[in-house]
Amino acid sequence: MKLKRVAVIVLAGLFVYLSLYTWNLRTGHLDTLAENTGLDAVRLVLKPGRWLADQVAAFWQRYVYLVGLQEKNDQLQAQVDELLMERNSLRERAMSTDRLEKLLAFTPPQAWERVGARVIARRMGPNALLETLVLDKGSLQGVTADQPVVTPQGVLGRVLRAGFTASTVLLLNDANCRIPVLGQKYRSAGVLAGRGPGRELELKYVNLNAPIEPGELLVTSGLAGSFPKGLPVARVLRVERSDLSLFLDITAEPLMDFEALEEVLLLRRTSGESQASPGGD
Protein backbone atom coordinates (compact mmCIF):
# COMPACT_ATOMS: atom_id res chain seq x y z
CA MET A 1 0.00 0.00 0.00
CA LYS A 2 2.75 2.33 0.86
CA LEU A 3 4.58 1.71 -2.39
CA LYS A 4 1.40 2.34 -4.38
CA ARG A 5 0.82 5.60 -2.52
CA VAL A 6 4.40 6.73 -3.15
CA ALA A 7 4.17 5.76 -6.77
CA VAL A 8 0.91 7.66 -7.18
CA ILE A 9 2.40 10.74 -5.57
CA VAL A 10 5.53 10.56 -7.73
CA LEU A 11 3.49 10.08 -10.88
CA ALA A 12 1.14 12.90 -9.93
CA GLY A 13 4.07 15.18 -9.19
CA LEU A 14 5.73 14.24 -12.44
CA PHE A 15 2.51 14.91 -14.29
CA VAL A 16 2.12 18.30 -12.69
CA TYR A 17 5.75 19.15 -13.39
CA LEU A 18 5.51 18.13 -17.04
CA SER A 19 2.24 20.00 -17.42
CA LEU A 20 3.73 23.15 -15.94
CA TYR A 21 6.90 22.72 -17.95
CA THR A 22 4.92 22.33 -21.18
CA TRP A 23 2.67 25.27 -20.30
CA ASN A 24 5.70 27.42 -19.51
CA LEU A 25 7.33 26.54 -22.80
CA ARG A 26 4.27 27.82 -24.59
CA THR A 27 3.60 30.92 -22.48
CA GLY A 28 6.80 31.79 -20.51
CA HIS A 29 4.69 32.91 -17.53
CA LEU A 30 6.66 30.90 -14.99
CA ASP A 31 9.96 32.47 -16.11
CA THR A 32 8.49 35.95 -15.71
CA LEU A 33 7.10 35.04 -12.29
CA ALA A 34 10.48 33.69 -11.18
CA GLU A 35 12.28 36.83 -12.35
CA ASN A 36 9.85 39.12 -10.54
CA THR A 37 9.94 37.03 -7.39
CA GLY A 38 13.73 37.01 -7.43
CA LEU A 39 13.90 40.77 -7.91
CA ASP A 40 11.52 41.31 -5.02
CA ALA A 41 13.66 39.09 -2.84
CA VAL A 42 16.80 40.97 -3.86
CA ARG A 43 15.06 44.29 -3.25
CA LEU A 44 14.07 43.21 0.25
CA VAL A 45 17.70 42.33 0.95
CA LEU A 46 19.27 45.44 -0.61
CA LYS A 47 16.73 48.07 0.48
CA PRO A 48 17.95 48.41 4.12
CA GLY A 49 21.53 48.67 2.93
CA ARG A 50 20.61 51.27 0.35
CA TRP A 51 18.65 53.25 2.95
CA LEU A 52 21.61 53.16 5.31
CA ALA A 53 23.96 54.29 2.54
CA ASP A 54 21.59 57.15 1.66
CA GLN A 55 21.43 58.24 5.30
CA VAL A 56 25.22 58.16 5.64
CA ALA A 57 25.61 60.18 2.45
CA ALA A 58 22.99 62.71 3.57
CA PHE A 59 24.62 63.02 7.00
CA TRP A 60 28.02 63.58 5.41
CA GLN A 61 26.61 66.22 3.07
CA ARG A 62 24.95 68.01 5.99
CA TYR A 63 28.15 67.76 8.03
CA VAL A 64 30.26 69.20 5.20
CA TYR A 65 27.63 71.93 4.68
CA LEU A 66 27.56 72.79 8.38
CA VAL A 67 31.35 72.85 8.56
CA GLY A 68 31.46 75.20 5.58
CA LEU A 69 28.66 77.27 7.09
CA GLN A 70 30.53 77.51 10.38
CA GLU A 71 33.68 78.60 8.58
CA LYS A 72 31.72 81.27 6.71
CA ASN A 73 30.09 82.34 9.96
CA ASP A 74 33.50 82.62 11.64
CA GLN A 75 34.79 84.68 8.72
CA LEU A 76 31.75 86.97 8.83
CA GLN A 77 32.08 87.34 12.61
CA ALA A 78 35.75 88.25 12.21
CA GLN A 79 34.78 90.85 9.61
CA VAL A 80 32.08 92.22 11.93
CA ASP A 81 34.58 92.46 14.81
CA GLU A 82 37.07 94.19 12.54
CA LEU A 83 34.43 96.66 11.35
CA LEU A 84 33.35 97.34 14.94
CA MET A 85 36.94 98.04 15.94
CA GLU A 86 37.35 100.31 12.93
CA ARG A 87 34.10 102.10 13.75
CA ASN A 88 35.16 102.59 17.38
CA SER A 89 38.54 103.84 16.22
CA LEU A 90 36.91 106.30 13.81
CA ARG A 91 34.50 107.43 16.51
CA GLU A 92 37.38 107.98 18.92
CA ARG A 93 39.25 109.96 16.26
CA ALA A 94 36.15 112.03 15.57
CA MET A 95 35.67 112.78 19.26
CA SER A 96 39.35 113.62 19.64
CA THR A 97 39.16 115.89 16.59
CA ASP A 98 36.09 117.58 18.03
CA ARG A 99 37.85 118.20 21.34
CA LEU A 100 40.94 119.56 19.59
CA GLU A 101 38.81 121.83 17.40
CA LYS A 102 37.18 123.26 20.50
CA LEU A 103 40.61 123.83 22.05
CA LEU A 104 41.84 125.55 18.90
CA ALA A 105 38.69 127.67 18.84
CA PHE A 106 39.60 129.09 22.25
CA THR A 107 40.91 132.62 21.79
CA PRO A 108 43.30 133.67 24.57
CA PRO A 109 43.01 137.19 26.01
CA GLN A 110 45.26 139.90 24.69
CA ALA A 111 48.91 139.54 25.75
CA TRP A 112 48.38 135.82 26.46
CA GLU A 113 49.09 132.76 24.33
CA ARG A 114 47.90 129.17 24.58
CA VAL A 115 49.85 125.90 24.69
CA GLY A 116 48.06 122.57 24.37
CA ALA A 117 48.79 119.68 26.74
CA ARG A 118 47.48 116.19 27.36
CA VAL A 119 46.40 114.76 30.69
CA ILE A 120 48.63 111.77 31.48
CA ALA A 121 47.63 111.08 35.10
CA ARG A 122 45.03 111.97 37.71
CA ARG A 123 45.27 112.26 41.47
CA MET A 124 41.75 112.92 42.62
CA GLY A 125 39.36 111.63 45.24
CA PRO A 126 39.25 111.26 49.04
CA ASN A 127 42.59 109.42 49.22
CA ALA A 128 44.52 112.09 47.31
CA LEU A 129 46.42 114.73 49.26
CA LEU A 130 45.66 117.26 46.54
CA GLU A 131 43.15 117.38 43.70
CA THR A 132 45.58 117.40 40.77
CA LEU A 133 46.17 116.38 37.17
CA VAL A 134 49.53 115.61 35.56
CA LEU A 135 50.21 117.08 32.11
CA ASP A 136 52.74 116.07 29.46
CA LYS A 137 54.32 119.54 29.30
CA GLY A 138 57.01 120.88 31.64
CA SER A 139 59.59 123.60 32.05
CA LEU A 140 61.34 122.54 28.84
CA GLN A 141 58.17 123.61 27.02
CA GLY A 142 57.98 126.89 28.96
CA VAL A 143 55.57 125.80 31.72
CA THR A 144 55.97 127.63 35.04
CA ALA A 145 54.31 127.48 38.46
CA ASP A 146 50.99 129.37 38.86
CA GLN A 147 50.38 129.31 35.11
CA PRO A 148 46.62 129.26 34.32
CA VAL A 149 45.16 126.02 32.98
CA VAL A 150 41.88 126.22 31.08
CA THR A 151 39.52 124.29 28.81
CA PRO A 152 37.03 125.63 26.25
CA GLN A 153 34.44 125.59 29.07
CA GLY A 154 36.49 127.70 31.45
CA VAL A 155 39.19 127.72 34.13
CA LEU A 156 40.44 124.33 35.32
CA GLY A 157 43.07 125.40 37.83
CA ARG A 158 46.70 126.48 37.92
CA VAL A 159 50.11 124.84 37.61
CA LEU A 160 51.31 123.76 41.03
CA ARG A 161 54.72 122.41 40.04
CA ALA A 162 56.57 122.17 36.74
CA GLY A 163 59.08 119.40 36.10
CA PHE A 164 61.28 119.20 33.03
CA THR A 165 58.78 117.32 30.86
CA ALA A 166 55.63 117.17 32.98
CA SER A 167 53.71 119.42 35.33
CA THR A 168 51.10 119.12 38.09
CA VAL A 169 47.87 121.12 37.94
CA LEU A 170 46.04 122.10 41.14
CA LEU A 171 42.36 121.80 40.34
CA LEU A 172 39.68 124.35 41.03
CA ASN A 173 37.96 122.17 43.64
CA ASP A 174 41.08 121.60 45.76
CA ALA A 175 40.89 123.20 49.21
CA ASN A 176 44.18 125.02 48.54
CA CYS A 177 42.97 126.72 45.36
CA ARG A 178 41.82 130.38 45.51
CA ILE A 179 40.83 132.49 42.50
CA PRO A 180 39.54 136.11 42.58
CA VAL A 181 36.30 136.30 40.58
CA LEU A 182 33.44 138.60 39.60
CA GLY A 183 29.78 137.93 38.95
CA GLN A 184 29.41 138.40 35.21
CA LYS A 185 26.00 140.07 35.47
CA TYR A 186 26.20 142.25 38.61
CA ARG A 187 30.03 142.41 38.94
CA SER A 188 30.04 141.51 42.64
CA ALA A 189 33.59 140.52 43.65
CA GLY A 190 34.74 137.60 45.78
CA VAL A 191 37.24 134.77 46.07
CA LEU A 192 36.28 131.35 44.75
CA ALA A 193 37.65 128.54 46.92
CA GLY A 194 37.62 124.77 46.57
CA ARG A 195 36.40 122.55 49.40
CA GLY A 196 37.73 119.16 48.38
CA PRO A 197 36.62 116.22 46.22
CA GLY A 198 32.93 115.79 45.61
CA ARG A 199 32.01 119.08 47.27
CA GLU A 200 30.70 122.34 45.86
CA LEU A 201 32.86 125.43 45.47
CA GLU A 202 32.53 128.33 47.90
CA LEU A 203 32.44 132.00 46.96
CA LYS A 204 33.89 133.97 49.87
CA TYR A 205 33.96 137.61 50.95
CA VAL A 206 30.87 138.82 49.07
CA ASN A 207 29.16 141.59 51.07
CA LEU A 208 25.64 141.02 52.38
CA ASN A 209 24.24 143.81 50.24
CA ALA A 210 26.11 142.78 47.06
CA PRO A 211 23.87 141.87 44.10
CA ILE A 212 24.34 138.26 43.00
CA GLU A 213 21.91 135.48 42.11
CA PRO A 214 21.80 131.71 41.47
CA GLY A 215 22.73 130.81 37.91
CA GLU A 216 25.04 133.80 37.51
CA LEU A 217 28.33 133.03 35.79
CA LEU A 218 31.52 133.77 37.73
CA VAL A 219 34.54 135.01 35.75
CA THR A 220 38.12 135.78 36.70
CA SER A 221 38.61 139.33 37.98
CA GLY A 222 42.24 139.60 36.85
CA LEU A 223 43.41 140.66 40.34
CA ALA A 224 46.85 139.40 41.43
CA GLY A 225 47.79 138.98 37.77
CA SER A 226 47.96 135.19 37.61
CA PHE A 227 44.74 134.84 35.59
CA PRO A 228 43.64 137.08 32.73
CA LYS A 229 40.37 138.88 33.32
CA GLY A 230 37.03 137.57 32.09
CA LEU A 231 37.60 133.79 31.92
CA PRO A 232 34.57 131.69 32.95
CA VAL A 233 35.22 129.83 36.20
CA ALA A 234 32.00 128.56 37.82
CA ARG A 235 28.26 129.09 38.13
CA VAL A 236 26.43 130.21 41.29
CA LEU A 237 24.21 127.52 42.81
CA ARG A 238 22.84 129.05 46.02
CA VAL A 239 22.92 132.43 47.74
CA GLU A 240 22.02 132.54 51.46
CA ARG A 241 22.17 135.23 54.13
CA SER A 242 23.32 134.74 57.71
CA ASP A 243 22.86 137.04 60.68
CA LEU A 244 26.13 135.74 62.10
CA SER A 245 28.32 136.80 59.17
CA LEU A 246 29.16 139.98 57.31
CA PHE A 247 29.25 138.05 54.03
CA LEU A 248 26.84 136.05 51.95
CA ASP A 249 26.99 132.26 52.06
CA ILE A 250 27.39 131.36 48.37
CA THR A 251 28.04 128.00 46.74
CA ALA A 252 28.98 127.42 43.11
CA GLU A 253 29.74 124.55 40.74
CA PRO A 254 32.55 124.08 38.20
CA LEU A 255 31.77 124.32 34.51
CA MET A 256 33.33 120.96 33.61
CA ASP A 257 33.78 117.36 34.69
CA PHE A 258 37.36 117.11 35.95
CA GLU A 259 37.49 113.33 35.49
CA ALA A 260 36.54 113.51 31.79
CA LEU A 261 39.36 115.82 30.72
CA GLU A 262 41.92 114.57 28.20
CA GLU A 263 43.37 117.75 26.68
CA VAL A 264 43.78 121.20 28.23
CA LEU A 265 45.32 124.58 27.45
CA LEU A 266 48.08 126.34 29.35
CA LEU A 267 48.04 130.14 29.18
CA ARG A 268 51.20 132.20 29.36
CA ARG A 269 52.00 135.84 28.84
CA THR A 270 53.45 136.98 25.56
CA SER A 271 54.79 140.22 27.07
CA GLY A 272 55.72 141.34 30.55
CA GLU A 273 56.22 138.99 33.47
CA SER A 274 53.69 136.92 35.35
CA GLN A 275 52.92 138.42 38.74
CA ALA A 276 52.00 135.35 40.68
CA SER A 277 50.75 135.93 44.19
CA PRO A 278 51.85 133.24 46.67
CA GLY A 279 48.75 133.57 48.78
CA GLY A 280 46.36 134.26 45.90
CA ASP A 281 45.24 132.27 42.93
Give tens-digit pLDDT for 94-130: 777 777 677 677 788 888 998 999 999 988 656 567 8
Q: What is the spatial distance between Cα 172 and Cα 199, in angstroms, rounded to a whole number?
A: 11
Predicted confidence (pLDDT) at residue 188 exceeds the cutoff of 80: yes
- Give CA–CA dist 132/123, Å, rounded: 5
pTM beyond 0.95: the answer is no
Sign of the dihedral through C-alpha 79, 84, 88, 94: positive
Judge contact between 236 and 212, C-beta under 8 A. Answer: yes
Cβ neighbour number for residue 221 with a 10 Å cutoff: 21
Which of 53-62, 67-76, 189-198 is modeled with the greatest confidence? 189-198
CB atoms near residue 11 (< 10 Å): 10
Q: Which of 6-20, 41-55, 205-219 has the lowest mean pLDDT?
A: 41-55
- Coil/strand/helix, residue 80: helix
CA dist., res. 183 & res. 191, Å (int): 11
270 backbone dihedrals φ, ψ, rounded to 5°? -95, -15
SS3 call for 148: strand
Average pLDDT over residues 56-84: 79
In this structure, what DSSP letter does residue 108 have?
P
Kindly report the average pLDDT of the chain as a whole number. Answer: 81
Length of the chain equals 281
Q: Residue 275's closest CA among 200, 231, 222?
A: 222
Residues 245-267, mean pLDDT to the nearest whole number = 92
DSSP string for residues in 247-258: B-EEEEEESS-G
Q: CB under 8 Å to 226, separation ≥6 — which residues?
A: 146, 148, 158, 274, 275, 276, 277, 280, 281
What does the domain layout of the chain look like in residue ranges? 1-105, 114-269
Give me the pLDDT at residue 90, please. 77
pLDDT, one tens digit per residue, over 174-185 is 999 999 999 999
| pLDDT surpassing 70 at residue 271 | no
Contact criterion met (CB below 8 Å) for 172 and 203: no
| 188, 211 contact by CB (below 8 A) | yes
Distance (Å, rounded) from C-alpha 169 to C-alpha 75? 49
The Cα-based distances of 219 to 112, 230, 253 in angstroms read 17, 5, 13
Q: How confident is the model at residue 23 (pLDDT cuts 50, 70, 90)?
A: low
In 57-77, which positions are buried (b, 16+ CB within 10 angstroms) versus exposed (e)?
Answer: eeeeeeeeeeeeeeeeeeeee
Q: Is the pLDDT of residue 149 over 50?
A: yes
Q: In this structure, which CATH number among 1.20.1340.10, 2.40.10.340, 2.20.130.10, 1.10.10.60 belongs to the domain 114-269? A: 2.40.10.340
pLDDT score, position 35 = 58
How many Cβ atoms sit within 10 Å of the Cβ of residue 2? Answer: 6
Query: How much is the pLDDT for 36?
Result: 59
- In this prediction, residue 274 has a pLDDT band, given cuts at 50, 70 and 90, of very low
